[in-house]
Amino acid sequence: MDQDFRVKLLEFVKLALIEDVGEGDHTSLSTIGKSKGGEAKLLVKEYGLIAGVDVALEIFNHIDSSLQVEVFIKDGSRVVYGDIILIVRGNIHSILKAERLVLNVMQRMSGIATRTATYVDLLKETNTKVLDTRKTTPLLRFLEKQAVKIGGGENHRFGLYDMILIKDNHVDYAGGIPNAVQNATIYKKDFGIDIPIEVEVRNFEELNQVLACKGVDRVMFDNFTPEDVKKAVKLVDGQLTTEASGGITLDTIKDYALAGVDYVSVGALTHSVKSLDLSLKAKLI
């Protein structure tokens, strides 16, 4: 876990606890003595791929550094019903304060990692990589993109600041692809910005315009059929990195990979994923 990720995580945990705990966990405070100790097992309730264990450790530590956590299953591991991911021991109030935040984060991340692994597994015999998108939950993007990596996928740009991605609206507003690319290259030079330029194309006419431009690093084939992607990849002929995007499903992703594209981006990795069912089972000690 790098420092930038940890800083984002700790800020997230602070805000999440304010949202959830507020002035205090009145249920625990009113029913359980403050000094009581206990343990809880984090249990798997369905098949999947686990993500968020390292994040859970940071959450437990932030809430109460005296909590002792024994980890049995690490991030990226495949699990089945009944598996025990970890056991946390210590103050019951601290365990209960962490419970919902840990579960919410791990269930969401594990669902994304599981979905990503399903796509990645289909491309094992190809050279094509699976990419995520910016179709993420606001302020949870860093966790969701981390889950994609744990599932075997790769991250596209994190936000609007680390890549120039010229899409259809940019093209239309700029007055065409040549104008948009020229403006972007001048902007990079004027501000000393060293980030790649990618251009989305909707048809072969736009693709030929991109190939005639200087300064482009990657081209995205938007809503192309696998057959058209194959033709487009041949036309690019290694001049640019290639990416296919738009409505790609588990049923079609391998067809796109076999067309020779370098990357396939899939919004469904994060925008509509089902969380993995996990639970925290308490026990007095």
209: Cα separation from own chain's centroid: 32
Pick from 182, 131, 177, 180: nearest CA to 157: 131
Which tokens is 229 given?
């992607």
Which one of 83, 222, 243, 262 is the catalytic residue?
222
Q: Is 135 a catalytic residue?
A: yes
CB–CB of 145/112 below 8 Å? no
Q: Is 222 a catalytic residue?
A: yes
Which tokens is 33 given?
């003595």
Which one of 135, 149, 157, 230 is the catalytic residue?
135
Q: How would DSSP label each residue in 214-277?
A: SS--EEEEES--HHHHHHHHHHHTTSSEEEEESS--TTTHHHHHHTT-SEEE-GGGTSSPPPP-
Which one of 75, 200, 243, 262 is the catalytic residue?
200
How far is the C-alpha of 65 from the C-alpha of 213, rounded, in Å?
56
A 10 A CB-CB count for 58 gives 19
Which one of 36, 74, 100, 189 is the catalytic residue?
100
Q: Is 100 a catalytic residue?
A: yes
Which one of 89, 134, 157, 167 is the catalytic residue?
167
Q: Is 189 a catalytic residue?
A: no
Q: How would DSSP label each residue in 73-139?
A: S-TT-EE-TT-EEEEEEEEHHHHHHHHHHHHHHHHHHHHHHHHHHHHHHHTTTSS-EEE--S-S-TT
Residues annotated as part of the active site = 100, 135, 167, 200, 222
